[in-house]
Structure 1
Amino acid sequence: MSSQNIESIKTIFESRLTTLEHLLNSAQTHFNGSESFLQERIAADMLPLGTQVAFTCNQPRNFALWCDGKPMDNLDPEVPSLVLAYEHITNTKGLLSDIDTEDEKLSKTTRIDLGPELYIEMSGSEYVNDFLMPNFYFHMVTAYDILRMAGVPIGKRDYMMHLVPFLKQG
């Protein structure tokens, strides 16, 4: 990301959260309103779709909190209903829209607490590029894969919705 700034990061998170909403809408339609797909998982030792939604939201959520000088605050990983899944996405978008910080924050060293007596220190840009974005895409792709495995008729076009404004014919 050569022209990385706070606004461009917000845009990436917001557009991909819209994609996550679309994927959930597709699943809701496919399963005729049943929410049991939220418990689907790729493998027995992996977390279910509902948790993947929460973990996907945690990354932009914690970005917004970090921008505001607040500590990380992850969502409850139990997401038993679509209402809660959509609420997590909506609330996360709200946090992103409220960000009011300067781009200089990306160059400052930040400490990220990961647990008792465990932390990392890195620049804001490294925090975004090496921590938040990889985790964000990991959980979003896992959610997508779970839905594909469960038979939801989605494809790359559904996952890459953010490219629609760039489509041209001719």
Structure 2
Amino acid sequence: MQSQNIDSIKTIFQSRLTTLEHLLKLAQSHFDGNESFLQKRIVADMLPLGTQIAFTCNQPRNFALWCDGKPMDNLDPEVTSLALAYEHIANTQGLLSGIKVKDEKLSEVTRLDEKDLYIEMSGSVYVNDFLIPNFYFHLVTAYDILRMAGVSIGKRDYMMHLVPFIKKA
């Protein structure tokens, strides 16, 4: 297994954000530009697609902010337009591109505060056990909402990052 470093984490986030953008473009085409699909959800008590987009972006966004020594700053979860969805993705990509921190950052202890509770963990644990699982949860939920809504997408659309490695037998 390849050793994890800041650049490999950036690459994962960047490539999967490109996937999210790809999925949105397919949905935009499927719904002929009607943006109401951003309000679709799997079940009534789950958050809508627009919120899933914001939450997907929050993970790499907060990774970039953490790398820069800044506090977490989540996006407004009310994403009701494709312009805003694409803007969130582009801004998050920009934050990731600006990361200039050494891999030692992954050894630093970080603290997550939630009301009257907190968690202290290493940067590696923060990335692997908090950010990455949350990132994939919201990305997969966005994918699932679009599939449920009838957008013709499949595993190839979700795993676009592997396309350069595909070879003909």
Q: Same fold (TM over 0.5)?
A: yes
* TM-score using structure 1 length: 0.97
Question: Could you tell me how far apart the structure 2 residues matched to 1:57 and 1:140 are?
Answer: 9
Figure out how many residues of one structure are paired with residues of the other and give that number.
169
Q: How do 1:72-83 residues align onto structure 2 when only pairs under 5 Å count? A: 72-83=72-83
Secondary structure in 1 matching 2:118: strand
User: Distance in 1 between the 2:150 and 2:118 partners?
Assistant: 40
Alignment partners' CA distance in 2, 1:89 and 1:41: 20
CA distance in 2, matches of 1:19, 1:92: 13
Equivalences for residues 6-155 of structure 1 within 5 A: 6-113=6-113, 115-155=114-154
Q: Residue 124 of structure 2: SS of its match in structure 1?
A: helix
1:112 is paired with a residue of what secondary structure? strand
Q: Distance in 2 between matches of 1:58 and 1:94?
A: 13
Q: Give the TM-score normalised by the residue count of structure 2.
A: 0.98
| Aligned counterparts of 2:164 and 2:125: Cα–Cα separation in 1 | 28
**Cα shift at 1:2:** 4.2
Residues 46-102 of structure 1, C-alpha deviations (whole Å, 9 max, x = no match)? 000000000000000000000000000000000010000000000000000000101
Q: Secondary structure at the match of 2:120?
A: strand
Establish whether residue 168 from structure 1 lines up as the match of residue 163 from structure 2: no
Query: What secondary structure does 1:37 align onto?
Result: helix
Which residues of structure 1 form unaligned runs of 5+? none
SS in 1 for 2:150: coil
| Partner amino acid, structure 1, of 2:14 | E
Cα distance in 1 for partners of 2:149, 2:131 equals 27
Q: What is the aligned-residue RMSD (CA, Å)? A: 0.8
Moved over 6 A (4+): none
Secondary structure of 2:58's counterpart equals helix
